[in-house]
Amino acid sequence: MDIIETIKEQIASNPVLLYMKGSPNAPQCGFSARASQAVMACGEKFAYVDILQHPEIRASLPQYANWPTFPQLWVDGELVGGSDIILEMHEKGELQPLIKAAVHKGE
């Protein structure tokens, strides 16, 4: 399976997916730390991919997503955005309903 297929599979099989540097409990950059804290504050389970452990994803995802930076939050198969957008949505109260709807879709 090529790397774009891997990325598509990850996005399709996880209702909430955060591509980040490090892990939510041990982020490796400030942007990833703030983004993962905002997503964790929503109270739902989410998947993450540490791009530092997966250089091929780190190299290919920006072209696939047409988004140059990390972190990247994907919800229900759609790119939400990076750290600034995630934090802004969290502060406005828009992030939690979006994530909750994706996680509980079809229940």
Domain count, the chain: 1
- The pLDDT value recorded for residue 1 is 72
- From the DSSP assignment, how many helices (H) and strands (E) are in the chain? 5, 6
**How sure is the predictor about 81, in pLDDT bands with cuts at 50, 70 and 90?**
very high
Whole-prediction pTM: 0.96
Give the CATH number, domain containing residue 95. Answer: 3.40.30.10
Q: What is the pLDDT of residues 28-74, one digit of tens each?
A: 999 999 999 999 999 999 999 999 999 999 999 999 999 999 999 99
DSSP structural state of residue 54: -
User: What are the structure tokens assigned to 25, written together?
Assistant: 């409990």
Determine the structural domain holding residue 77 and report its residue range.
Answer: 3-103
